[in-house]
A and B are shown apart, each in its own frame.
Chain A
Amino acid sequence: MPSFFKQNPTLPGFGLTFGVSALFVTLVILTPLAGLLVYTSQMSLAQYWQAISDPRVVASYKVTLLGASYATLAALVLGMLIAWIIVRYEFPGRALLDALVDLPFALPTAVAGLTLSVLLAPGGWVGQWFAPWDIKISYAFAGLVIAMTFTSLPFVVRSIQPVLEEVGPEYEEAARTLGATPWQTTWRVILPALVPAIFTGASQSFIRSLGEFGAVVMIAGNIPFRTEITSLMIFTRTSEYDYPSAAAIATVVLGASLLLLFLLQVLQGRILPWQRPGA
């Protein structure tokens, strides 16, 4: 019989720490998720299908996926730019910028949603510049994307930053001495090294955006079929005491995010490491 341990424990405390960890994970994380599945399994297939394929719910899947995709793209562009200037250049305010990147992580999402919605409303500091052109940001799809971009920005920056620090300017200098143009250096030397980090950052922002609730509901206006996200659909069904429908939609969301998380783990472990510099 194969042993439980791959390496016999020498340090004391295995029983206590493993016991507490396993108990906690079971009680706090696994039991509620299992409870949701058990609860949903009591529904008939027709009921289940009706709950998850309601046109308003299907529209909310599209809004959420589309919003999360745009937000991930936006966070990727801005995040790469910020990571690049923080790592490579010395300029006034650099340390402050570095510290502020984590703000969306520490700031409660309801606060982020409230302040962004006021900022981007037609009379707000930023919104007033868009109002004359009839561009609506708050209480529209654009606001939803901006809220998701805000909450996912730190994931991109913090994934890329350490790798960029690793691929120091030596690589670029080496490329240049070998006759590469700046364009070639960027595309052939820096970007390939960043691919795994970009991938990780992007998938984390995407997962985060799919589940974002507080920031989005405060700014999106929550118009059915247009700016209503799936999390809000679950919330609405719950407040209508329609728990079965809410649970059915929740299993769809949960399945999607767990699948993404799992894929991310597998990809990180198996496929991407070879691209890491020095590996």
Chain B
Amino acid sequence: MHRPQNWRQWALIVLGATGAVLLLVLPLALIFARALSGGFGMFFDALAENDMRAAIALTVTVAVITVPVNVVFGVMMAWCVTRYDFHGRKILVTLIDIPYATSPVVAGLCYLVIYGLESAVGAWFNAHDMQLMFAWPGIVMVTIFVTSPFVARILIPLMQAQGTEEEHAALTLGANGWQIFRRVTLPNIKWGLLYGTVITNARAVGEFGAVSVVSGAIRGKTVTLPLLIEQLNDDYKTVGAFTAAALLACMALVTLVIKTFMEWRNREPGARHPVAPSPASPPVQNTTPGA
């Protein structure tokens, strides 16, 4: 990396930076400008509305259930495919990419077809006083589906690169499985795990397509923040829509800060992983563990 040396290199930088400003920075600035266009008073009034408070509560509930489930699953999945070599390992790694490639609307529909009132399963749950679709459990279920790959996709390359020598050393010293994970593996993957957690949270909070299929959009009951944005925007309540958008944008910015921090930690001298994996990096390569 060096300072640009001639006008051509500067031109490239200006061109790239202009594109980034137009596509990334301006939209971000617009969100906050619009949310605060009526001053802080209107911003807080919009926040205090009943629909908004219900949407925030529902969105937080969904994230609180979804994130731990997917973190536990992601860690187990990553451990399983990087610490053992068995037939079907590659298939398992490929299957975890499916939610990534599935359109969220299709995902929502799949759940609707299985757990909706018309189906046998849905009817059974309904007979036991549990409505899954067009209620909060359905929203949680599709959100778990959509956000399931993130933790695993971040951890798998990380744990593959680390190899298993340290775990094996701990094993020969008499540690049990939990001790190995807690004392050896976890400290090595903690930053990746933290980033996986916040990106899972970001996607869970922001999921739109799948949730809008199974939500039924009952005001004050099954409307999450992203759905509320659409409703308010359709009602021409721009300040309200942008207030909700500003909340979500803040969450996205915090996510980026944590990611940058993780990369910075990993680039410190002595760190073993120069490039921090991103969920937007290429899919996991199917190499043998420990290779």
A interface with B by C-beta (< 8 Å): 2, 4-7, 9-14, 16-18, 20-22, 24-25, 28-33, 35-36, 39, 78, 81-82, 84-85, 87-91, 93, 95, 97-112, 114-116, 118-119, 124-126, 146, 149-150, 153-155, 157-159, 162, 165, 169, 197, 200-201, 204, 207, 210-214, 217-218, 230-232, 234-235, 238, 243, 246-247, 250, 253-254, 257-258, 260-262, 264-265, 268-269
Contacts and interface: CB of A to CB of B under 8 A. Distances in A.
Contacts of A153: 23-24
B98 interface: yes
Given A25-B92, A158-B281, A207-B100, 17 more contacts: A12-B171, A12-B177, A28-B145, A29-B96, A33-B102, A81-B15, A81-B19, A84-B12, A90-B3, A106-B199, A110-B226, A114-B241, A115-B242, A149-B23, A158-B282, A268-B282, A269-B285
Contact of A31 (B28, B114, B148): B114
Given A11-B167, A89-B3, A112-B27, A254 B9 contact: no
8 contacts: A21-B80, A84-B12, A89-B12, A102-B278, A107-B249, A119-B30, A158-B278, A204-B283
Q: 9 tightest A-B contacts by CB?
A: A108-B206, A211-B103, A214-B208, A213-B209, A12-B177, A32-B110, A35-B114, A17-B80, A106-B252
Contacts of B72: 20
Nearest to B244: A111
A268 B285 contact: yes
A213 B104 contact: yes
Q: Label chain A's interface by main secondary structure.
A: helix
B127 interface: no
Contacts of B100: 207, 261
Contacts of A250: 103, 105-106, 109-110
Contact of A100 (B22, B116, B167, B256): B256
A33 B106 CA distance: 9
Contacts of A81: 12, 15-16, 19
Given A16-B76, A81-B16, A91-B4, A268 B278 contact: no
B233 interface: yes
A25 B95 contact: yes
A218 B230 contact: yes
A115 B256 CA distance: 19
A257 B16 contact: no
Contacts of A78: 16, 19-20, 23
A157 B279 CA distance: 12
A158 B279 CA distance: 9
A85 B225 CA distance: 36
A165 B101 contact: no
B148 A29 contact: yes
B84 interface: yes
B248 interface: yes
B275 interface: yes
A162 B281 contact: yes
Interface string B21-53: 011111110110010000000000000000000
A33 B99 CA distance: 10
A154 to B, nearest CB: 4
B111 interface: yes
B145 to A, nearest CB: 6
B67 interface: no
A236 B145 CA distance: 22
A125 B26 contact: yes
B193 interface: no
A14 B81 CA distance: 10
Nearest to A197: B282
A109 B105 CA distance: 13
B281 A110 contact: no
B245 A114 contact: yes
Contacts of A243: 109, 112-113, 116, 118
A114 B84 contact: no
